[in-house]
Structure 1
Amino acid sequence: MVKPASRVAVVGSGWAGCGAAVELARAGCKVTVFEAARSLGGRARGVMLRDVMLDNGQHIMLGAYNETLRLLRHVGIEPKQALLNLPLQMRYAPGSGGMDFVAPRLPAPLHLLVALLRAKGLVREDKMSLARFSSTARWMGWRLDTDCSVSELLDRFDQTERLVKLMWRPLCLAALNTAPERASAQVFLNVLKDSLGAGRAASDMLLPKRDLGSLFPKAAAAYVERHGGLVHLGAKVERITPLARSWRIEASGSALGGEPGGAYDAVVLATAPHATGALLADLELDTVSAQLAAFSYEPITTCYLQYSAGTTLALPFYALIDDGARGHWGQFVFDRGQLDAAQMGLLAVVISASGEAAALGREALELAIAGQLAGVFGRPELATPEWSELITEKRATFACTPALARPANASGLPGLVLAGDYTAGDYPATLESAVRSGILAAKAVLRDARG
């Protein structure tokens, strides 16, 4: 059993911090969450735009996100109600020069074979190329002796130019938020193994029907409070200091009522990598600090466009061919009205690794995206939305480059653990990797408490 007096501070209320807080509260720890912002969720949160609660970035989850789905259920969120479940697909608007690939709900790997045979927009060479990739990756156990870029991997597997353009590039951008020329092939294979290479349900695409804040972070905070914990919003942790057998938290913010934070038996540091590096600066953790300093970051931009309530797409989402030379920056478009009836006529366009696109400026990029939608769908009215809003998360994820050294959950100091989508693991910076990291951090704290 955990010691009754185990007091744990969780710094940061992103999905990693919330995952850690729930696991610790479930085990009987007295958890206090410190969040510098006024809202929960970190880099995957709800935001209010034009009196509509949306997300700071549109997300796609996978059926392979086992730990995320488990914790959702644990805090009272039923995935079948909160998420729209779709079979694996890569579908482009008819006549746009794309493809139509949909995996039927058949046992694996039959579902992929049937999807490949039925796929439209791919010639025989493309289909053979995709089949060869899948069979070779399985034979290799989805492992590389030496990591390389995704582009190098695709060249090695003789993937056709069209298949790279319509399948592998958009999948790589969506999963790793890093261009294939710079992205880690091994991490990409890890994602494919747990989706394409696993059971049929693992490859399902899950679209949130509610904003990301209420999908998990708010329910997690309520769970912590029901179990005797505290959640402080607007409370920025300025310093963490080791004591004899505990840690002192120094925090600022009106939410604390003047209290500096106090002493805790353990601390889960679940802030973004750059913020974590700043808090570790005085603790002489040279290896961890060097790993964090070596990170570079990639932005994600989401453009929301509101049309009349009767405006809808034939499918909940489509892939888009991005081509900056033509002013086509969007990579996926989502019909929010098919996720939430209160958002009829609202479309969300996502641009991963969006540095070049965001450099255009807000107004120019919004106009370009609206023009892209009008052209791709052959619907001139999409060029003139009633309003549009652009959100760019500048440090949405770390750049997931080959052989990147990522820090472990263990900091090297007793009672201090790290949590975040950037810590060592098989996945890139996704909601699932954040939740997995939070769970591992909580388990490390609990092992120390039992010792």
Structure 2
Amino acid sequence: MCAAEARRVAVVGGGWAGCASAVGLARAGCKVTLFEAARTLGGRARAVEVNGLTLDNGQHILLGAYRDTLRLLRQVGIDPAAAFLRLPLQMRYPPHSGGMDFVAPRLPAPWHMAIALLRAKGLERADKLALARFTTSARWMDWKLNEDCSVAELLERFDQTERLAKLMWHPLCLAALNTPPDQASANVFLAVLRDSLGANRAASDMLLPRIDLGALFPAAAARYLESRGSEVRLGARVETLAQDGDGWLLDGEHFDAVVLATPPQQSARLLDGLPETADLIAQLNGFGYEPITTCYLQYDPQLRLALPLTALVDGPGGHWGQFVFDRSQLDPGHAGMLSVVVSASGAAAALDQDELAAQIAAQLADALRMPALAQPRWSRVITEKRATFACVPNLRRPDNATRLPGLALAGDYTAGEYPATLESAVRSALGATTAILSRRTLPRENGSLSHTDGDDDLPSVQ
């Protein structure tokens, strides 16, 4: 363990997985150096400056089930009760927009879901029966298929109505997996549903950050690391990685162990030329990606929507948005600010940014029956082109541990049952920390890397 050996560990990449890995290793007594090529920490979940405001590069929703993320925030001094607006699980569309109104009341499970279904508006009896049938069947089969398939095939197999699929399952799939239902993994989708629709009330709650993503964790992680005698190097791109006896050289500097918490293709570049990594490199280079677009629209500071989070019916005719957030109900400094999320946004992101913002503003004006929303004071479109990996069926994701002693991977793309979420990044960091502290490597299996499919053997960082 690091506490006894005072080992020097390098963590390459300052996104959430890298910061979480660094915190876990520092807590175990390692001397950690965190390398980040950018001038700020956070990776694909970071704060940006727009017109004098600190905004996120993308709007996020967390779940109460994200136990490892919430535990980690507490460890670095962030109080989740103050940092999040906690809402019951819901799918609420504007009245008269052709949507539905589904809210889980604050009752013990499973009564919260049963009452939500009975009270749901905008769903016909056939829709409600289909939803009840689906959740009952999913619970019976422990929220997992023996053979993975697409979400669209799963919904067809369980006779879900067209309306329920459009208003409930499709937007949930896009929001959670950032992959269109006809391409998305049913098993990963079921794992998300297990911890939302199928979970106890607190676990199914939706958590909306009240503070920017940089302040929510990366900045607090940096303070934690420095308080433990570790180092954060910003604007420090690692160019070379080489073995050095029992340790590693990063651009000629010696470390006892390394966690690669960079995106898959960057990790593949650093691993190129090292022994026994050909199969791993092929895995890392084999991911497809999906973008996410967030459109910020500034209106009169007096503007306030009925709800902090509202679902939108997307579809042809420039209706790109899937959810709109009233930022004033999250951060008083964002009065009059709305943010609209477009998941799996390849087609939308191909448009001119001003045109896309205009179409989204028109969608809001129509859906919310507020004509003034068609004319924001200003707008800003932010697209993360590789926001997440494409979460397709039977995707082979690498384990945290590698065949090379003292070298581990961390990132939301590594083996696990969740899609690319902040919780996945944190769980992966726990796995990388375990691999480094135990110097665990993977055995050969038919000439290829073996991998696990979850975090069952990962300790909590406490």
Compute the TM-score of the two structures, normalised by the length of structure 2: 0.94
The answer for the alignment partner of 2:386 in structure 1 is 395
Equivalent residue for 1:300, pick from 256, 267, 292 = 292
Deviation readout 1:342-370 (Å, 9 max, x if unpaired): 10000000000000111122111011000
What's the % identity of the aligned pairs?
65
The answer for the alignment partner of 1:180 in structure 2 is 181
Deviation readout 1:122-179 (Å, 9 max, x if unpaired): 0000000000000000010111111000000000000000000000000000000000
CA contact (8 A) 2:150 2:185 kept: yes
Q: How far apart are 1:200 and its partner, in Å? A: 1.1
The answer for the alignment partner of 1:409 in structure 2 is 400
The answer for the alignment partner of 1:265 in structure 2 is 256
Q: Which amino acid aligns with 1:103?
A: A
Distance in 1 between the 2:263 and 2:236 partners? Answer: 15
Q: Which has the higher contact order (CA 8 A, sep 6+)?
A: 1
The answer for the alignment partner of 1:58 in structure 2 is 59
Q: How far apart are 1:448 and its partner, in Å? A: 2.3
Q: Which amino acid aligns with 1:77?
A: I
2:17 pairs with 1:16 = yes
Deviation readout 1:52-71 (Å, 9 max, x if unpaired): 00000000000000000000
Q: How far apart are 1:4 and its partner, in Å? A: 3.2
2:266 pairs with 1:275 = yes
The answer for the alignment partner of 2:373 in structure 1 is 382
Distance in 2 between the 1:98 and 1:111 partners? Answer: 21
Q: How far apart are 1:193 and its partner, in Å? A: 1.0
The answer for the alignment partner of 1:256 in structure 2 is none
Distance in 1 between the 2:136 and 2:80 partners? Answer: 32
Aligned 1:331-342 pairs, distance under 5 A? 331-342=322-333
The answer for the alignment partner of 1:39 in structure 2 is 40
Q: How far apart are 1:400 and its partner, in Å? A: 0.2
Deviation readout 1:325-351 (Å, 9 max, x if unpaired): 211000000000000001000000000
Distance in 2 between the 1:43 and 1:393 partners? Answer: 7
Distance in 2 between the 1:207 and 1:412 partners? Answer: 39
The root-mean-square deviation of aligned C-alpha atoms, in Å, is 0.9
2:328 pairs with 1:328 = no
CA contact (8 A) 2:6 2:29 kept: no
The farther-off stretch of 3-12 and 90-99 is 3-12
Aligned 1:89-104 pairs, distance under 5 A? 89-104=90-105
Q: Which amino acid aligns with 2:257?
A: A
Q: How far apart are 1:376 and its partner, in Å? A: 0.5
Distance in 1 between the 2:439 and 2:263 partners? Answer: 24
Deviation readout 1:164-201 (Å, 9 max, x if unpaired): 00000000000000000000000000111122222111
The answer for the alignment partner of 2:245 in structure 1 is 244
Distance in 2 between the 1:178 and 1:215 partners? Answer: 26
Compute the TM-score of the two structures, normalised by the length of structure 1: 0.96
Structure 2 unaligned runs (5+)?
441-462
Structure 1 unaligned runs (5+)?
251-259
Aligned 1:39-438 pairs, distance under 5 A? 39-250=40-251, 262-284=253-275, 285-323=277-315, 325-438=316-429
Distance in 1 between the 2:265 and 2:5 partners? Answer: 34
Distance in 2 between the 1:217 and 1:350 partners? Answer: 23
Q: How far apart are 1:5 and its partner, in Å? A: 2.7
Moved over 6 A (4+): none
Distance in 2 between the 1:187 and 1:84 partners? Answer: 26
